[in-house]
């Protein structure tokens, strides 16, 4: 009784989902793969014995597809998610759920709260480090949380981005994970910057974002997409009597050339491989048994986008603190 | 086309295999569970929708069982493995393949080298740390290996063991993994001890074992089963120009009570959870496609037992260096 | 030809200076000790064979005193420093040089730039970690600096303080050390806070300060005086191609009670013991040979106070960014 | 009332002692420096305002020398120490006290146990790490010690040595520090080796030494003088309920080039700089006040040499366990 999954998009992320669903997730098979690039669709599909199409709507409405994963370009997320819901099929949409907060609200409004179909790929919620950090935060061992510090550094950004896309595409992970850790929504945000890296021309890099959650906790987020040295994700929660932070997930240490070292991942795929696997397994498990999953919901996706909108507004208002628009009644 | 697996034994290890095969391994289902304890068999089986029996031979010969996992008492491993082979079914036997080297040789002799059916559960070969350590050892970055240091510490040993069972049950992992890392068999061994823990009465604890592999590398192994403080597995390879070692796989660090710390696992199940999952997935993948797997073979199981026999002989010979009996022609 | 030093104040800090000057610094002796508390003065003096007085001005003008250390209450720093300068004696004043920026300016104005007599006890400049961090920052290895993150946590604050005294007494160290690392003065600052620890009543704790230096670098400073878990000073410099940070200076690691840990200092005395020793040695060495020392100058002391004043102004202006008043011509 | 110290030998070690005594030790001055190389003696002496001679016996008998440091060639240690004692002057002799155990016994026999004059430069006894490790060992926190593991790795050995000189010159530090940590003398030793580094021709490298102390603890010592990657000294004590180990004394961590790292020292001078300073300060403090110091005594020096002799005997006896000759009655 495998869940037959259709995967839209065969870029780095989509291909990874196909491989995971086929090879490491229990209870799932990949039945159809869609990509505008016919050759890529064919190649990815054939490796796992799936069919392929170029039209994502065909995939969504295919009788052999029980559930849909959307990993195509961000600009397609909103409409494809709506199409999947209209077809009555569970859909896991890569973040962001939509590019703008307005679109995001439109998509989220289509969700049926009684019997939700949408999930958003905020995979960090399945990272063993973040999971343990959240547990430690509420264990009493470090006391009530007061401050959170995040650093999100990557080797280099895709060219052609902007200061805004740093927020909507990358910082969005922190905008989701911090309130998730704290169990408290972000209510206000501000954006700050100093000198930008001379190696970067398309955006301000690095940026500093400050978040205030409803519980009063203040969070600092450094986002540095062209940090060059490695893919390095950090998070520390400081509480009234202690503090806890992510450990870099390393498996060996090496002594060579006069130094003791461990390596960084080059990008998010190896760093969050386990998160992606666990997220997909939880999604499939929940679908198989008909129970609600613990994946991020449409409301979560909207919430992160509304915070991003506040951050960008602050960016264009000289760093002023901006209130986050509430998600609203329906959620 | 899932592989239908029968699991014999529902102790800690067997129950873990059942859960893994059912929930986290792609391409497998658990069809039958066997345990002498009828209630336990029933309970473990029903959780995954499998049938149950008390007689392991019935399981082995069940038409709904494509492949067998043996996780029952060590004393049953040899005969059940032989029964599975006789039934023509692939079998993954938990280490050790047999209690004595003689029995082990008898089992291994029944293997068909052309089309092998037996695998031995030396799961450390699938631990991301050991895998990376082996790769680093042969990468040139630390030069040719010269020395290996291992420490294998557990919180407390099962009562009623002996100094010998420390070797055959616990150190056996190092006796397998060190030659696996080095790609070189152990040719001689010696056993050493100092003061034994005053908290232990049934055996010498800790023990020190020295191994010499065919490549000339000298290995020290400390095995300390009642180390109390935590489950702690270490391995360092020292080469001509560098050294590499396992990192403790931690996901968060905590600051509390005047100290910075990370926790140790209480036993092997959480420490090697990922190894067990990957080992089972590889076993299932290989069975599904008909290719040879990378699991430890019957010959590997025999090899480890022959080294253990040499260590025990040294234990009874005042720490003299003892040559390891070769596996022989057939492998 | 020892330098004969008079030490004013025999609290924790003063007593530590006396002990250091007597026992671990080459080329110095303690000749006179002053404290309003006669018993304490007597006890500290007699332990090192020094004379004692209750009147600090008597000490300053004592013919047996070549140089003066001021470690008495903050409120006395300005006047005693001026008295020492009037007496023509080199003086090492514990930070802050004066409580208010105005007073600080008055003291600094009394300094003779041609032949300076004043030094300020910003001992972190002599911490091996900060020294190495500054060197790494300008080594090219991490590229030009872009962002600095500091955390300054202590177990508990002296009772009876205020949100302002957190800045002038504790954060002042970061206000000095960050521009020292960067070789660039702070030009603007802002102050931020979230929820305050429920265990603290006399002040906002923790606080977040943001600094902008003339080079464009943005710095975040978390100051948390009642962090409870330990005395923990962190600093990270993020550059265009790498990052460097202080390591916690630990000498052993311990495995016990299911965890791997190292301990934190209870307060600044053990954490910065080496810094205090090196600072005093450098002060004595420079005095002995007549060369300028590398200790913080009166201008440095003023500079830190002017930044503190800007931070406090921001604290009272809803977190607005406040420009730092320049030190002025004379320095 | 400074102690006027004469320093014999101006190689790396001697020059370091001169610099320390002059610049960082309280209560000492360097009055005379001796070296066969007249130019070097002159240069080192003039930097600290001392006189110089080429004849070490002249230095020992100089009226302006209160105490003597011997840092000349190992072969001179025994006779110069005896000469200092004959002159009635306290003497700090760099390890080893003598090259052979016989010579060492002869020197030690000349010591006056009532009013000892000899100290041996086993500076690790003053390393903050070893001091903390010894304290932790006896704190109850890790329980009674059972096993000790040491690794002593250096970048490269002085050419022209031998397998024996590895023991007498390098491993000698472990032969002293392990019984010092345990408060228990070494009673038996054995020597082991595997493959030697292909980059080394003058000796077996690395070597493994096993020590048995009177308390029953078993110690493994790896000595690897041409380890290439860095100067790396490790020591772990494993007790009945916990374990403790030296931390590498680092002050910063760096992220660059896809890795997180800290650097190793190139040799023992930076690694043990603090130990040398503290050892000299303790020596001077004890001399100044007439109390016994905590430096290693002549008996300690003899003890280490007797263990070295046992190790070398094992080296020439196929790794047999060799009893250590007792120091004897007089100590």
Whether A28 and chain B come into contact, CB under 8 Å, resolves to yes
Contact: B321, D321; criterion CB under 8 Å? no
From chain C, pick out residues whose CB is under 8 angstroms from the CB of B232: 255
* Tokens matching residue C160: 């009876």
pLDDT score recorded for residue B159: 86
For residue D231, what is the DSSP state?
B
Cross-strand partners of B150: B221, B235
pLDDT greater than 70 at residue A122: yes
Share of chain A above pLDDT 90, in %: 95
pLDDT score recorded for residue A329: 56
Cβ–Cβ under 8 Å, residues D29 and D22? yes
Q: Which of B2, B26, B282 to mutate to test the interface with A (most CBs of A within 10 A)?
A: B26
Whose structure tokens read 């008390």? B54
Among B258, B262, B266, the residue with its CB nearest the CB of C263 is: B258
* Tokens matching residue C99: 């409580």
**Cα A92 from chain centroid?**
11
Query: Maximum Cα–Cα distance for chain B, whole Å?
Result: 61
pLDDT score recorded for residue C330: 52
From chain A, pick out residues whose CB is under 8 angstroms from the CB of C192: 210, 218
Burial C125-162 (b: 16+ CB within 10 A, else e): bbbbbbbbbbebbeeebbbbbbbbbbbbbbbebeeebe
**Domains in chain C and their CATH numbers?**
3-121 (3.40.50.720), 125-272+305-323 (3.30.360.10)
What ipTM, to 2 d.p.?
0.96
**Cα C127 from chain centroid?**
11
The rounded radius of gyration (Å) of the Cα atoms in chain D is: 20
For residue B158, what is the DSSP state?
P
Mean of per-residue pLDDT scores for chain A: 96
pLDDT greater than 90 at residue D240: yes
Instruction: Let me know if B321 is exposed, middle or buried by CB neighbors in 10 A (0-12, 13-18, 19+).
Output: middle
Q: How many angstroms separate the CA atoms of D297 and D286, rounded?
A: 13
What residues have CB less than 8 Å from A234, skipping those under 6 apart? Answer: A149, A150, A151, A152, A245, A246
SS3 call for B83: helix
Cross-strand partners of A253: B245
C 271-330 residues inside an 8 A Cβ radius of D = 281, 285
**Residue ranges of chain C with per-residue pLDDT less than 50:** none
Provide the residue-wise pLDDT of chain B in tens; the chain has 331 residues. Answer: 699 999 999 999 999 999 999 999 999 999 999 999 999 999 999 999 999 999 999 999 999 999 999 999 999 999 999 999 999 999 999 999 998 889 999 999 999 888 999 999 999 999 999 999 999 999 999 999 999 999 999 999 988 899 999 999 999 999 999 999 999 999 999 999 999 999 999 999 999 999 999 999 999 999 999 999 999 999 999 999 999 999 999 999 999 999 999 999 999 999 999 999 999 999 999 999 999 999 999 999 999 999 999 999 999 999 999 999 998 755 5
What residues have CB less than 8 Å from D115, skipping those under 6 apart? Answer: none
Nearest-neighbour CA in chain A from B273: distance (Å): 13
C-alpha dihedral (D293, D296, D298, D303), degrees to nearest 10: 150
Share of chain D above pLDDT 70, in %: 99
pLDDT in tens, A253-262: 999 999 999 9
Q: How many angstroms separate the CA atoms of D111 and D86, rounded?
A: 10
* Tokens matching residue A116: 């939700």
The whole-number average pLDDT for the span A249-274 is: 97
pLDDT score recorded for residue A177: 98
SS3 call for C307: helix
- Give DSSP secondary structure letters for D133-168: HHHHHTSSSS-SEEEEEEEEE-S-PPTT--HHHIII
pLDDT in tens, A209-237: 999 999 999 999 999 999 999 999 999 99
From chain B, pick out residues whose CB is under 8 angstroms from the CB of C154: none
Whose structure tokens read 């709507």? A57
Nearest-neighbour CA in chain D from B239: distance (Å): 8
Cβ–Cβ under 8 Å, residues C106 and C43? no
pLDDT score recorded for residue B330: 52
The whole-number average pLDDT for the span D180-195 is: 98
* Tokens matching residue B324: 């390891």
Share of chain A above pLDDT 70, in %: 99
pLDDT in tens, D18-67: 999 999 999 999 999 999 999 999 999 999 999 999 999 999 999 999 99
B 199-238 residues inside an 8 A Cβ radius of C = 229-230, 232
- Give DSSP secondary structure letters for D58-81: HHHH-TT-SEEEE-S-GGGHHHHH
Sheet hosting strand A28-34, strand order edge to edge: A51-53, A28-34, A3-8, A67-70, A91-94, A118-121
Nearest-neighbour CA in chain C from A171: distance (Å): 17
pLDDT score recorded for residue C159: 86
Cross-strand partners of C120: C93, C296
What subunits touch chain C, counting only 3 or more CB pairs under 8 A?
A, B, D
Nearest-neighbour CA in chain D from C1: distance (Å): 10
Q: How many angstroms separate the CA atoms of D263 and A260, rounded?
A: 6
Nearest CA in chain D to C256: D242
Cβ–Cβ under 8 Å, residues A92 and A67? yes
Element (H, E) at B39: helix B38-47
Q: How many angstroms separate the CA atoms of D223 and D208, rounded?
A: 6
From chain A, pick out residues whose CB is under 8 angstroms from the CB of D232: 255
From chain B, pick out residues whose CB is under 8 angstroms from the CB of A129: 251-252
Sheet hosting strand B51-53, strand order edge to edge: B51-53, B28-34, B3-8, B67-70, B91-94, B118-121
From chain D, pick out residues whose CB is under 8 angstroms from the CB of B206: 146-147, 238
From chain B, pick out residues whose CB is under 8 angstroms from the CB of D242: 228-229
pLDDT score recorded for residue D328: 79
> How sure is the predictor about A330, in pLDDT bands with cuts at 50, 70 and 90?
low
The whole-number average pLDDT for the span A60-65 is: 98
Instruction: Let me know if C57 is exposed, middle or buried by CB neighbors in 10 A (0-12, 13-18, 19+).
Output: middle
Q: How many angstroms separate the CA atoms of D234 and D241, rounded?
A: 20
pLDDT in tens, D66-98: 999 999 999 999 999 999 999 999 999 999 999
- Between strands C3-8 and C28-34, the pairing is parallel
**Which residue spans within C9-49 are E strands per DSSP?**
28-34
Contact: B28, A24; criterion CB under 8 Å? no
Whether B145 and chain A come into contact, CB under 8 Å, resolves to no
Contact: D24, C253; criterion CB under 8 Å? no
Cβ–Cβ under 8 Å, residues B221 and B211? yes
Q: How many angstroms separate the CA atoms of A186 and A148, rounded?
A: 12
Phi, psi of A161 (to 5 degrees): -90, -165
Angle between helices D38-47 and D12-23 (to 10 degrees): 20
């Amino acid at each position: 009784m495998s869940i037959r999954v259709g995967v839209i998009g065969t870029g780095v992320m989509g291909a990874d989902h196909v491989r995971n669903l086929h090879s490491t997730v229990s209870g799932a098979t990949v039945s159809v793969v869609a990509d505008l690039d016919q050759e890529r669709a064919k190649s990815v599909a054939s490796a796992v014995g799936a069919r392929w199409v170029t039209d994502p709507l065909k995939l969504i409405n295919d009788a052999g597809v029980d559930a849909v994963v959307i990993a195509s370009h961000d600009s397609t997320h909103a409409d494809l998610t709506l199409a999947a819901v209209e077809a009555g099929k569970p859909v896991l949409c890569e973040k962001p759920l939509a590019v703008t907060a307005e679109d995001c609200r439109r998509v989220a409004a289509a969700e049926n709260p009684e019997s939700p179909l949408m999930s958003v790929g905020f995979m960090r919620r399945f990272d063993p480090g973040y999971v343990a950090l959240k547990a430690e935060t509420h264990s009493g061992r470090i006391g009530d949380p007061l401050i959170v510090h995040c650093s999100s550094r990557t080797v280099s950004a895709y060219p052609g981005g902007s200061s805004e896309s740093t927020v909507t595409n990358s910082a969005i992970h922190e905008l989701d994970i911090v309130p998730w850790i704290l169990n408290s929504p972000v209510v206000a945000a501000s954006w700050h910057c100093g000198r930008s890296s001379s190696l970067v021309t398309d955006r301000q890099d690095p940026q500093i974002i400050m978040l205030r959650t409803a519980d009063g906790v203040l969070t600092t987020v450094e986002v540095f997409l062209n940090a060059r040295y490695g893919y390095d994700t950090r998070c520390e929660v400081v509480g009234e009597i202690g503090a806890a932070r992510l450990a870099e997930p390393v498996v060996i240490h090496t002594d060579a050339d006069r130094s003791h070292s461990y390596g960084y991942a080059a990008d998010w795929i190896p760093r969050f491989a386990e998160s992606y696997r666990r997220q997909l397994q939880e999604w499939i498990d929940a679908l198989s048994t008909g129970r609600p999953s613990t994946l991020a919901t449409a409301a979560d996706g909207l919430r992160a986008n509304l915070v991003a909108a506040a951050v960008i507004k602050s960016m264009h208002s000289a760093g002023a603190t901006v209130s986050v628009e509430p998600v609203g009644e329906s959620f």
